[in-house]
Amino acid sequence: MIKDELRQWSLAAIIGIILALGINYFLFFICKIPSASMEPTIMTGNRLIATRVYNKDKIKNGEIVVFYSEEESELLIKRVIGISGDKIKIQDNGEVFVNDKKLEENYVLNNEEVGGEYTVPKDHFFFLGDNRARSFDSRKWNNPYIHKKDIKGKARIIIYPFSRIKIM
């Protein structure tokens, strides 16, 4: 009888682990934010749920995305500013234009005066952090573009701390 109960509990635990791993691998994952680069939208230490992205051609400017940076050898989270073919111009005062249209960026904290012009190649993205003065992003990378194969997920919900829970 004890063997049967132990066998049932073991089977339930194994099924639970397989389900958890499957959900994490195919549907969503949890990220802990290590830096201030996305403040005030996402604070240092926040945890969020990101959904896996399978159709990367549907990612739009303004979305917050988790991706792998080969240059940094780690997962990063930033805001999409440019998609394939976009022409980005960052003026010396920090204002950002995409295809000659000024972005209204009410989410930006500490705009940094770093100018530049970029044309996003096919199948690539251009990213900026919301806290421009504290963000190591496309403006500063050796290769300012991230290939779509490196996109891992879209930020969806801040889940911790509980006082900051919100859908993004």
Q: Which residues are catalytic?
A: 37, 78
CB 32 within 8 A of CB 124: no
Cα distances from 123 to residues 56, 77, 87, 146, 147, in angstroms, run 9, 18, 14, 9, 6
Q: What residue type is 79 in one-letter code?
A: R
If residue 16 lies in a helix (H) or strand (E), which one and from where to where? helix 2-26
Q: Is the peptide bond before 40 cis (omega within 30 degrees of 0)?
A: yes
